[in-house]
Amino acid sequence: MKVRIYANRNYPIGEIDKNIFGGFVEHIGRCVYTGIYEPGHKLADKDGFRKDVIELVKELDMPLTRYPGGNFVSGFDWKDAIGPKASRPSRPDYAWLAMEPNTFGLDEFVKWCAKANTAPMYAVNLGTNTPKSAQELIEYCNFEKGSYWSDLRIKNGSKKPHNIKYWCLGNEMDGEWQIGHKTAEEYGRIAQETAKMMRMVDRSIKLCVCGSSSRNMETFGDWDYNVLRHCFDSVDMLSVHAYFGNSDHNFPKFLAAPEVLDKQIADSIACCDAVAAQRKSYKKIMLALDEWNVWYRGDTNAHPETIWQAARPINEEIYDMTDVLVVGGILQTMMDHADRLKVANIAQTVNIIAPIMTEPGGRAWRQTTFYPFALMSKYGRGTALKLSSDSPTYSTDIRAEGIPFVKSSVVFREEADELVVFTINRSQDEPAELTAEFGCFKPTKVIEAIEIHHANPDAVNTADSHPVKPAKIAAKRVSLKDGKLTATLKPFSWNMFRISTK
């Protein structure tokens, strides 16, 4: 199978925002308790944070982390989780049928973020709380001193403001499963008033309003348009959520998840621009893919015997080699929309459909999907370039045109004087002979060629074994001659080529 791609410096998509490599910490299952926070663990620091997990999060290099939910947030009062821990109430979490001890809250999360080299993105409760509560929350976080809530923060041990820049106005408010579910008109109005009141405290913040929680929602598009009619002038981003699975064991369809996401993003942009057109406005609402991942094995109803316990072991998905290709392809799609996609958060960071897994009281390890995320986070920041691509295709029922077996993205990292090619071969049995040309660039050498491949698409990583991980591509399979890259891609593989332009 022969594949050709062509990239040109004069045809950029846009600058890739580092925040598309964000994470997500929700109070669900073992994400917080026995995930990032486990006092008494042999590797816990003085604040109870697991140092082994912090080091893995640093390796993923997540500039932004969304918190505290998710469905959890719509039944949560942030005031329950501040102040002396001994006086914090335990509450039933009706979203996930667990007990929430509130021993890890806002101030602990901000402190954890500082240690993990990430910044907080905080979701306010617009399911059961009010715009006033959101205003008090941002006053607690971002007001310097002299007010009741800022002085309470200081009393609780944080002299300096938290200065949280990114805020989500609720979560999945279009979903009937959501505590405090609202119609588009109801939510659009409360989002507008909340945005207005929060900006009274801090005009510098970035606000993300809930779009459709899934492309499969009957109200997809209509919800987004009608919500934005109410709050277009007051918000910066529209939230997009996307999960992909393979419950029907249709691998060709599953591997086309990046193309499904591409259509969802394009449709969401169209909704934003339709409202702008109706208003005759030049403003561009950006997108935040603030929940995304592969999710179909992790079971929300697992371990019913643990209902109303803290740290219930639910939604603990184990990822395989196939998921590497899907996650890598999804990240490529994000790069393809660098001009409008400014935030993305893989859900979740630890234990819950996550790249990092832990044992309570024991080890932490990297799932298969950890590696494409970490490498693309490290080397996928720069200018995304438009591609002309020619690849054989296969057919699915998700769209009329074929799905290319080989999907590629090219990033120009100007500060490093290098081009980075990310490419996946979705064929299960045929290698691909890749030829890449780079107009207006003068490539001089291949700095690094890496692949993730395993002969068994069902191969997984565990605490004891890591069969799916990056490896160097043999030199005989890669060459750079006259500025043209040629490489042989193994079947069912994720690949990265770093090319010097010095």
Q: What is the set of active-site residues?
A: 172, 291
CA quadruple 240, 173, 308, 49: dihedral sign: positive
Rounded Cα distance between 412 and 10, Å, is 11
CA-to-CA separations, 375 to 64, 102, 357, 421, in angstroms, rounded: 17, 34, 18, 12
Rounded Cα distance between 483 and 148, Å, is 63
User: Is residue 285 within 8 Å of 272, Cβ to Cβ?
Assistant: yes
| C-alpha closest to that of 286 among 251, 214, 238, 354 | 238
CA-to-CA separations, 246 to 251, 254, 355, 428, 429, in angstroms, rounded: 7, 6, 18, 16, 20
Burial 17-31 (b: 16+ CB within 10 A, else e): bbbbbbbbbbbbbbb
């040109």: which residue's tokens? 8
Q: Which DSSP helix (H) or strand (E) runs through 95?
A: none
Report residue 502 as tokens: 């010095």
Q: Which residues pair with 424 in a beta bridge?
A: 407, 494
The verdict on whether omega for the bond into residue 348 sits within 30 degrees of 0, i.e. cis, is yes
